[in-house]
Amino acid sequence: MNIIIVGGGKVGEEITAALAKEGHDIVVVDTDPEVIKKLTDDYDVLGVCGSGLICGNLLEAGAANARIIICTTPRDEVNLLCSIIAKKLGVRHSIARVRDPQLIEQFKFMQTELGISALVNPDYYAACEIARVLQIPSAIKVDTFAKGRLFLAEVKVEQGSKLANMALHMIRRSFGTKILVCAVTRGDEVVIPTGDFVLMAGDHIYVTASHADLIAFFRAAGLDGARVKDVMIIGGSRIAVYLAQQLLDTGTSVKIIELDRDRCLELCGMLPRATIVCGDGTSEGLLLEEGVKNIDACVTLTGIDEENIIISMFAKSCGARKVITKVSKTSLLGMMHSVGLDTTVSPKKVTANIILQYVRAKMNSKGNNIQTLYKLVGDRVEALEFIAGEHSATVGVPLRDLKIKRDVLVSGIIRGGHVIIPTGADIIEPGDSVIIVTTNPHFTDLDEILD
């Protein structure tokens, strides 16, 4: 597929890397020649040095025949205008990264009147990812499918855990909950397991279940499944505002520590139910004074990765029940895991996954449309949600009789709002949401799971 990416910054590079890996023909447009050189050298894509607002640059990038344009410059207005111009030049679909909430609210108008296909707000989606983890603090990561009806949670099997040395087929019988372990990582190994697989201490497992069954599983396994009651947020960014709004609406107490006085005044106006503290979140004395030793969760959202990591380590040492760290540099993730900071959020990765999901959906012409996509385990595992079409080869046949490819697992079926954790006897019906977890990359259609 011919794709133009305007803006080669952190988000643009993440998207370029993800789409280049899937074999698309990509042209990157950026005003910085050094950015163009780096991306063309690193990812074997084409580059045009110049503004995405200039028709000549877009035409040079192939706008007349491009399927999708993705606009990810730092400025919302530039992304929107570039999308509009590109559509006029012949691009079929346009995606704009937009962070201003007021502009997001006008999406329906922009879609119908201006022809913009999709708006992506990295801050909002990052906040949603954090909020999901805070619902189930013992999980390292939590994703959802089918509008929140099915959960996918990453959990570490600790030494002495009830899960250690247990075969997967024994979990339902032992705990009495309907869950499915759909992937396991053990060191550098990634496994899509069968029922005979035996868990070991140190494994990271990925579990699908309804919210109620997931909470019941956590409790039965001796893990903490209760939602946190109070959260300390370090840094008053847009992510912090979106997150605080979601937490306050669920009755969670929120305290935000922000260094800039003017921003604190803005936060007071936007979040009257939150406690806003003007001060340096890297100050040990301030954190102790504000009760870091007694909080349920600490979320570090400053604009500097190293500050976030140090504050998170301190909060963890003080006994915070859950610590979540925002990180932009993926090179730091390995070191974070080694010091016990497992739960991280990366807005650029969240954005790349959403855009990749959109691109895959536009590649599909069979009718088994992709709805959701998550990359797991350093992009080595994909979890996807498809809507089963009437003519899908997967429909009407017991799962045990389908010839499913190796390392592919049907991990959930949602039918009419009802969650089914499938066994071999279950059948996919037209209109079902079907969750697939696999180490085979690049599926765009449900039927591709079949041999």
DSSP string, 157-198: --TT-TTTT-BGGGHHHHH----EEEEEEETTEEE---TT-B
pLDDT tens column, 60-104: 999 999 999 999 999 999 999 999 999 999 999 999 999 998 888
What is the Cα–Cα distance from 304 to 102, expressed in whole angstroms?
Answer: 26
CATH number, span 230-345 = 3.40.50.720
Superfamily (CATH H level) for 126-220: Regulator of K+ conductance, C-terminal domain (3.30.70.1450)
Three-state DSSP at 56 gives helix
d(CA 302, CA 308): 6
What pLDDT, in 10s, does the model give residues 111-138? 889 899 999 999 999 999 999 999 899 9
DSSP state letter for 46: E
Q: Which of 268, 246, 167 is closest to 256 using CA atoms? A: 268
Q: What is the DSSP letter of 274?
A: S
Q: Are 183 and 158 in contact (CB under 8 A)?
A: no
The Cα–Cα gap between 100 and 409 comes to 39
The terminus-to-terminus CA distance of the chain in angstroms comes to 25
CATH topology agreement for domains 2-120 and 230-345? yes
**What is the pLDDT at residue 361?**
85
In the prediction, which pLDDT does 225 show? Answer: 66
d(CA 196, CA 198): 6
Tell me the pLDDT of the chain (451 aa) as tens digits.
Answer: 899 999 999 999 999 999 999 899 999 999 999 999 999 999 999 999 999 999 999 999 999 999 999 999 999 999 999 999 999 999 999 999 999 988 888 888 998 898 999 999 999 999 999 999 998 999 999 999 998 999 999 999 999 999 999 999 999 889 988 999 999 999 989 999 999 999 999 999 999 999 999 999 999 998 876 779 999 999 999 999 999 999 999 999 999 999 999 999 999 999 999 999 999 999 999 999 999 999 999 999 999 999 999 999 999 999 998 999 999 887 787 778 778 888 999 998 899 999 998 998 887 656 667 899 999 988 899 999 999 999 999 999 999 999 999 999 999 999 998 999 999 999 999 999 999 999 998 899 999 999 8
CATH of 2-120, one of 3.40.50.720, 2.60.40.10, 3.40.50.970, 3.40.1190.20: 3.40.50.720
Partnered with residue 26 across adjacent β-strands are: 3
This prediction's pTM: 0.90
- pLDDT in the model for residue 367: 61
- Give the position of tokens 């976030």: 308
276 has which bridge partners? Answer: 256
Identify the residue whose tokens are 């133009």: 4
Q: What is the radius of gyration, based on Cα positions, of the chain?
A: 23
Contact 300, 324 (CB under 8 A): yes
CATH number of 352-449: 3.30.70.1450
DSSP state of 431: T
Strand positions, DSSP E, 330-425 = 344-345, 370-376, 381-387, 408-415, 418-420
Please tell me the distance from the alpha carbon of residue 435 to that of residue 443, in angstroms, as a whole number.
12
Helices and strands counted in the chain (H then E): 15, 22
SS3 label, residue 427: strand
Q: What is the pLDDT of residue 441?
A: 84
Total count of residues recorded for the chain? 451
Predicted local distance difference test score (pLDDT) of residue 227: 78
Beta strands across the sheet bearing 204-209: 141-145, 150-156, 204-209, 180-186, 189-191
Yes or no: say if 83 and 20 are a contact pair by the CB < 8 Å rule. Answer: no
Q: What is the pLDDT of residues 263-319, one digit of tens each?
A: 999 999 999 999 999 999 999 999 999 999 999 999 999 999 999 999 999 999 999
Phi, psi for 419 (deg, rounded to 5): -90, 130
Residue 102: predicted pLDDT: 86
* The predicted structure's pLDDT at residue 365: 57
Which SS3 state, helix, strand or coil, does residue 139 take?
Answer: coil
The pLDDT, as a whole number, for residue 378 is: 83
Non-local (6+) Cβ contacts of 42 within 8 A are 17
Q: How far apart are CA 326 and CA 226, in angstroms?
A: 23
Q: Domain residue spans in the chain?
A: 2-120, 126-220, 230-345, 352-449
Contact criterion met (CB below 8 Å) for 97 and 71: yes
Closest CA to 374 of 342, 352, 359, 346: 352
**Which CA distances in Å does 314 have to 158, 298, 319, 329, 330?**
22, 10, 9, 20, 21
Q: What is the pLDDT of residue 368?
A: 64
pLDDT for position 364: 67
